[in-house]
Amino acid sequence: MKVPLVELDGDEMTRVLWALVKEKLLLPYVDLHTEYYDLGLKRRDDTNDAVTVEAARAIARLGVGVKCATITSNEARKAEYALERLLPSPNATIRAILDGTVFRKPITVQGLRPAIPAWEKPITIARHAYGDVYKAAELAIPGPGTVELVYTAEDGSVTRRKVADMPGSGVVQAMHNIDASIRAFSRACFRYALGERLSVWFAAKDTISKTYDQRFKAIFAEVYENEFRADFEKAGLEYFYTLIDDAAARIVKSRGGFLWALKNYDGDVMSDLIASAVGSLAMMTSVLMSPSGAMEFEASHGTVQKHYYRWQKGERTSTNPTALIFAWTGALARRAALDGLPDLGAFAGRLERAVLDTIGAGFVTGDLAPLCEKPPAAVLDSWAFIDAAAQRLGTAGK
Ligand code: NAP
Ligand code: MG
């Protein structure tokens, strides 16, 4: 390796598997260079989250990062880890710094039956990574009064809009987005889709949100017409906009094989729906692409908290490491492409093949057992699964 990967370590069960994957599947084969950031919850707390910001800047500087799942702190975690403070979600912080788009793509394997059998091909989700509810200002309203939105322009002129006359206590939320970010998001979607030869669906709720969601719809249409329509038509692909509820209904009956672009919150929810419909949260990868070309790879599941507590009691859990492994292979392949290292790229491909073949041969973790078309050969714990993949990788040659 010529340029180090930015490595962001995390929490709980995924942290345990992170170390195991490196030990068994990476270090024996790759002269691995990483710039390491510990995003474990305690360390983020100790540094008042400076470590998260440094890691995000390192990804912007070096171009490629790989991230383990991390705990987003809440009151329960504050007590559990004796934290000084509640910090924002590290992913939200990183996304805001890189201003990227998150693409989530299911990992499909022959022999695993998706919960929605109509889907012949995976549905890739593109999630806008800036703003909306993730950057909202919220206020608890103690009692009766008037809530307003106020915009003060640079020249001092003021525009006000009444939100509500509050008859009693309640809550209010104000969120925003920026045209430049929406435009960058739409370009990232169209560019990614052309590369992967996918049609694009974009869904929002402009019938209700006549200014906010309407802006998203208009920017997508403008960017498509001016910059992408010709290339899409040449490739036999299409773009269309539809309402989010219509899209949700049509997705279930579709055959898959397209890119579904979604606003930040919709993308968060729908990617979990797609992943679990595909079979398991552990069979979904996630990549954040910034307009500058920097990329961060991760699994789309969380830290698998319940398994971690069982592991702490001594159990060898059957947690599926596939998406974590694919985060590493995605990052290594990207580094290989940027730095002209074909051997490294080929290794990433072999490791993915070894994992898919292990699953395809019926050696699976517990989450996949119910999805197997034929009875699995063996249901393995994470350690045995990683050993089985390592064995296949070994016989595939170094
Ligand atoms: P989760 O870690 O995604 O796990 C939810 C459930 O999904 C698990 O209990 C497990 O089901 C199943 N699952 C997820 N990944 C699996 C895997 N690799 N192998 C097998 N089963 C898997 O979500 P959570 O428990 O709601 O969240 C735990 C922590 O993760 C939270 O503190 C949250 O803040 C954080 N989180 C982080 C990220 C991120 O860093 N990207 C994303 C989401 C959540 P069973 O228990 O039925 O086996
Ligand atoms: Mg989520």
Using DSSP, state whether 16 is helix, strand or coil: helix
Give the nearest ligand 1 atom to 14 CA: 18
**Alpha helix locations (H) across the chain?**
12-21, 41-46, 50-62, 75-80, 90-98, 179-196, 212-223, 229-234, 244-253, 264-278, 305-312, 322-339, 342-360, 382-395
pLDDT band at 291 (very low <50, low <70, confident <90, very high): confident
Which part of the chain has CATH 3.40.718.10?
1-103+293-398
Residue 301 Cα to ligand 1 middle (Å): 5
Residue in 71, 301, 322 to alter for ligand 1 test, most ligand atoms within 8 A of Cβ: 301
- Residues 6 or more apart from 175 whose CB is under 8 A from it? 131, 132, 133, 135, 136, 137
178-218 residue pLDDT tens: 999 999 999 999 988 988 899 999 999 999 999 999 999 99
Angle at the Cα of 284 (from 281 to 287), degrees rounded to 5?
130
Q: Is the pLDDT of residue 100 over 90?
A: no
pLDDT band at 387 (very low <50, low <70, confident <90, very high): very high
Q: The whole model's pTM is what?
A: 0.85
Kindly list the protein residues whose Cβ atom lies closer than 6 A to any atom of ligand 1.
69-72, 91, 281-282, 298, 301-306, 319-320, 367
Ligand 1 atom 27: the closest Cα is on which residue?
302
Ligand 1 atom 8: the closest Cα is on which residue?
304
pLDDT band at 398 (very low <50, low <70, confident <90, very high): very low
The domain 1-103+293-398 is placed in CATH, from the list 3.40.50.300, 3.40.718.10, 3.40.190.10, 3.10.180.10, at: 3.40.718.10
Which of the ligands is closest to the CA of residue 127?
A: 2
pLDDT at 120: 83
Q: How far is CA 248 from the centre of its chain?
A: 19
- Across the chain, what does the average pLDDT equal? 93
Q: Is the pLDDT of residue 369 over 80?
A: yes
